[in-house]
Structure 1
């Protein structure tokens, strides 16, 4: 049986985490790309030495932990620095995903990758080979802004700025094989995940 691999994505505050947890309740393996990235830069991780050599001590707290906000400010204001960071991290992320896929035993696998679709509206090359189908959790921009403001205590302008740094809703929907509409309540979300779970089971049997 070929392992069916579903790339789960959506804008910030779209409800990806809730969807992921619902799939986990069906005993489906979940691979969390954000957690992989966090683990790469955990205290004493080997990659921290490369970061320190490149950017100096300013991107670290006094206790030696990485200041992700400072690093983010640097790389998102410099295409060259961002490209360097991607060259450093992408192979490691891909290697970790491969290891987790090899260990997965569920009929299909959910790969939770918030930035699966980049700002150009494409799936980055280091991720494309891992994905058979793209599942987008969709919300209106109004709901997205309201949820983000409430969750992170942000102004509307700050929320809009964060959203503008991601691929657009239109770009995500253009690449979606499957869509979950998360503008409703939790019961509606649960029903949609249940339906997709059953659908993915039928696909994984082929």
Structure 2
């Protein structure tokens, strides 16, 4: 089994790469999905968030009020660090469970761990992946995508980008950098070439 970490800043095009790899047959383990699972009602994660940030981040139905939490942590490095200390270990444990399931199902599987916050989440643990793939796009282009395509305000977009690792930090852990400043077809061609490389390992 190969485990490939796929990361990139918000609006870099990482999801496009992940979908293409899935089309080729990769097993996708989505850290964002796991992050939602580990803070569902009744979980240790949600209880810890309530204890740290208060009842104001809990919706009327008992679920996590993500906009309320985001308003607190994006722009407050200490609050974001506290949130990450709660969620990152839980997400990593869930991810390793999925890796083990994939290997049990197919020892030759190529597993792609789709993880936006790879650099941030690995600060307290070493990286152990067969390849680290970083999807990259210029900051101005990512801002445009967030504002025009996702309807985010410029202020919110700037805060989201600033809360993540920068390009240099991601490149420092990368084995492969996929540039996504050109058109979608150019990116997909790079992903196809990457898949062929991975299959040969």
TM value normalised by structure 2: 0.85
Checking the alignment, whether the CA contact within 8 Å between 1:107 and 1:201 is kept in structure 2 is no
Checking the alignment, whether the CA contact within 8 Å between 2:132 and 2:175 is kept in structure 1 is yes
Question: How many residue pairs were aligned?
Answer: 196
What CA distance in whole angstroms lies between the structure 2 residues aligned with 1:10 and 1:68? 21
* More divergent stretch after superposition (165-174 vs 155-164): 155-164
What CA distance in whole angstroms lies between the structure 2 residues aligned with 1:117 and 1:94? 13
Deviations 1:64-116 (A, max 9, x none): 2211232344455362x555544433332222111110111253211111011
What CA distance in whole angstroms lies between the structure 2 residues aligned with 1:130 and 1:69? 33
**Is residue 50 of structure 2 the alignment partner of residue 52 of structure 1?**
yes
Deviation at 1:6, TM superposition (A): 1.1
Q: Which runs of 5+ in 2 are unaligned?
A: none
Q: Which runs of 5+ in 1 are unaligned?
A: none
Please give the residue correspondences for 1:16-165 in structure 2 after superposition, counting only pairs within 5 Å. 16-75=14-73, 77=76, 79=78, 82-104=80-102, 105=106, 106-118=108-120, 123-126=122-125, 128-165=126-163
Deviation at 1:62, TM superposition (A): 1.6
* More divergent stretch after superposition (70-79 vs 151-160): 70-79
Aligned Cα root-mean-square deviation (Å): 2.3
Checking the alignment, whether the CA contact within 8 Å between 2:49 and 2:86 is kept in structure 1 is no
Deviations 1:153-201 (A, max 9, x none): 2343432232122111222223211011111222212211110001011
Structure 1 pair 155/53, CA: closer, same or farther in 2 (3 Å)? closer
Deviation at 1:32, TM superposition (A): 0.6
1:137 partner SS: strand
Deviation at 1:18, TM superposition (A): 0.8
TM value normalised by structure 1: 0.83
What CA distance in whole angstroms lies between the structure 2 residues aligned with 1:48 and 1:171? 29
What CA distance in whole angstroms lies between the structure 1 residues aligned with 2:82 and 2:155? 30
Deviation at 1:129, TM superposition (A): 4.2
Deviation at 1:52, TM superposition (A): 3.1
What CA distance in whole angstroms lies between the structure 1 residues aligned with 2:52 and 2:140? 40
